[in-house]
Amino acid sequence: MSRPEGDDVALRLLHTADWHLGRRFPSFDEADRTKLSRARLDVLDQILLKADHESADALLCAGDLFEEPDLEREWWEPVAKKLTAMRPRPVFLLPGNHDPLQPGSVYYPGHSFRRALPPWVHVVDRDDFEHELKEGAVLYACPCRSRAGQRDPALALPPRAPGDERIRIGLVHGSTFDAVDCQTNFPIAKDAALLRGFDYLAIGDTHSFRDVPPGARPPVVYPGAPEATTFGEPGAGNVVAVFVSQSRRVTFRPERVAYWTWSERMVRSLAELRALASEPHLARTVLRLVLDLRLTAPEMAEAEAILTELKGTAAAHGRAGILQVMRERMTLDTRGIEVNFADLPEVVRATVAQLQELERGDQAEVAREALFHLFRLVRAGGAS
């Protein structure tokens, strides 16, 4: 959607949500968890830069900014610092279902986070939150007070009064009518924005950019998470720039801010693996490789070498930013493996033969793996 002509724009907003600061990534190893957790905080700089670039009148943050309502200081203190160091501009922080407004939460009045925030940052800590964004434009918002609930937060906002011609922006967190489990996760009715007379309903919860339903008027938009949280979030990594004209016509567009790209790849041959390893831009990719391979021992050794190159070692960075390998369907083809041991002492050959015999029994997988161990030991011994 194109941006309207400058003179016609009455209100500029930057809409974001679902930062999930403090999120752990238990599927990854410790180093990668750290990278992914830190990325949540780093992307804030990009968001604030984008707000400057768009000259946004306000930054709307639609909930789930923190993974938990009562995170450690190491997570909320940098946020407060970044918001303090930013160019002054109204910022609205909305408690979501991950970080609901409860006693002890970072949003609760009296929390050190609240005290550390600059005056232009407003926390939505009232059900009847209302703020004049600028003359003729007003924001209404309602926070989540629990992790689950059936109350429609959008319908909890006041409707447009007769004769009220101001630009009305709604800011809530919940699941739209088309989402799974929406009935227990603050369901947002299909026509909530229309019923309440909003010109734009800024919402948060799902991690992919979506306008619900597409092309609806008034728009109801999920900006998605600025950094994806898992694989299968194709629209993640964006914020939404919103423009409202004098005639209250609304246009918006997603703007990419993410550093990481999440990619899940299926590899069915060694050639594919070789090709993938030579791809550029892997350094900013969270790569999940699902290996569906049946390889001979030398091929397997090569594949392992490639994976090591992608993953990196203690001594060298890997080519992929973050690598996760699914080896369930990666198997060793031991047929003819004895050829690799032909010139070796009898005892080694006897060991190979015995392992091959075991491979035909109950210990097939272990025996196969042992054969590959032996292959690598022999190869290492030969090399040395």
Partner 1 sequence: MRLVHLEVERFQCIEKAELELGPGLNVLYGPNDLGKSSLAWAIRAVLLLQHNSVVHERFVSWCGDGEPRVALTIADDDERLWRVTKTFGGGSAGRSRLESSRDRRTFTTEATGREVDDRLRAMFRWGVQKPGGQGPRGLPESFLTQVLLAEQDSVRKVLFDTSLENDPDEAGRLRMVEALGALAQDPLFKRILDDTQARVDTAFTPKGRKKRTADSPFLAIVNEQNDLQAKQDDLTRRVRETEAADAKIRDLASERDRINTDLEEANEALRAARADLVVRERRAQLEAQLKDHEATIGGARELQERIDRLVAEGAQVRAAASAGEAAVREADGEATEAERALDAARGALDVLTHADVEQERRMTEVTAARDGAMRRVEAAERALAEATAALKRAEKIAAEVKDDAAAALRLEHRAGELERAVATARDERAASQQALERAKDRVREAHSAAKVQARALAQKEVANQRLQRRAARADAEARRKAAIEARDAARRASDAVKAVEAQKGEADRAAERAVAASAALAIAERGVERWRQLELVAAYREARATAAQLAKEEAAVADARAKAAELRETAATLRGSVAPGLPTAAEIAGLRELHVERRTAEARLGGGLTVTLRRKQPLPVTWEADGEALATPAGRAAVVVVAKQVLRLELGDLAELEVTAGEEDARRAATALRERWRQEAEPVLAAHGVAGVDELDARRREADEREREADRLECDASAQDERASRRPASGDLGAAEARRDELAAELSGADLEKLGDELSRLGDRWQASLKQQRDRSGASRDAAVGALEQARALAQQGQAELERLRTEAARLEAEAVRRGADLGEDWATVVDACDRALTESDAALLDLDRQEATLGAGSDDDQRAADAALRDATKSVEACGTRYDEQAEAWQRAREAAAAAASKLEGTRARARELAFAEEWAAQLASSSPVLPLARWQLAVREATGALDAARAVCAQAERQLTDSQAARAAAIQAARGAVKTAEEAFAKARDLRARRQDALKVAGDRSHEVELALKQAQLELAQSNVDAARQAATELRGQLAALPTLARSTDVDGVAHHEQQVARLTGHLREANDDLAKARGALEHVGGAIVREQLREVEQALQQARERARQVELEYDAWKLLLETLRASESSEGAHLGRALAGPVSRRFGELTSGRYGNLEIGAHLDATGLRVAGEVRELRALSAGTQDQLATLLRLCIAEQLRSAIVLDDHLSQSDPARVAWFNAVLRSAAQHVQIILITCRPAELLGRDEFQRAGEPAFVGAAGLLRSVDLTRVIQRFP
Indicate which single residue of 7, 165, 328, 362 sits in contact with partner 1 (rule: CB under 8 A): 328
Enumerate residues 97-136 that contact partner 1 by CB under 8 A.
97-98
* Residue 149 binds partner 1 (CB under 8 A): yes
* Residue 294 binds partner 1 (CB under 8 A): no
Query: CB of residue 141 vs partner 1: minimum separation in angstroms?
Result: 19
* Residue 277 binds partner 1 (CB under 8 A): no
Query: CB of residue 384 vs partner 1: minimum separation in angstroms?
Result: 8
Stretch that binds partner 1, among 84-92, 141-149, 208-216, 304-312 (CB under 8 A): 141-149
Of 94 and 121, CB closest to partner 1: 94
x/- contact string, 151-190, with partner 1 (CB under 8 A)?
------------------------x-----x-xxx-----
Stretch that binds partner 1, among 111-119, 156-164, 212-220, 352-360 (CB under 8 A): 352-360
The amino acid present at 182, given as its one-letter code, is C
* Residue 327 binds partner 1 (CB under 8 A): yes
Of 38 and 373, CB closest to partner 1: 373
Assign 3-class secondary structure to the chain: CCCCCHHHEEEEEEEECCCCECCCCCCCCHHHHHHHHHHHHHHHHHHHHHHHHCCCCEEEECCCCECCCCCCHHHHHHHHHHHHHCCCCCEEECCCCCCCCCCCCCCCCCCHHHHHCCCCEEECCCCCEEEEEECCEEEEECCCCCCCECCCCCCCCCCCCCCCCCEEEEEEECEECCCCCHHHECEECCCHHHHHCCCEEEEECCCCCEECCCCCCCCEEECCCCCCCCCCCCCCCEEEEEEEECCCCEEEEEEECCCCEEEEEEECCHHHHHHHHCCCCHHHEEEEEEEEEEEEHHHHHHHHHHHHHHHECCCCECCCCEEEEEEEEEEEECCCHHHHHCCCCHHHHHHHHHHHHHHCCCCHHHHHHHHHHHHHHHHHHHHC
Indicate which single residue of 34, 55, 150, 269 sits in contact with partner 1 (rule: CB under 8 A): 150
Of 277 and 344, CB closest to partner 1: 344
* Residue 320 binds partner 1 (CB under 8 A): no
Of 46 and 229, CB closest to partner 1: 229
Of 26 and 336, CB closest to partner 1: 26
* Residue 326 binds partner 1 (CB under 8 A): yes
Positions in the binding site for partner 1 (CB under 8 A): 26-27, 97-98, 145-150, 175, 181, 183-185, 230, 324, 326-328, 344-348, 350-351, 354-355, 358, 363, 365-370, 372-374, 377-378, 380-381
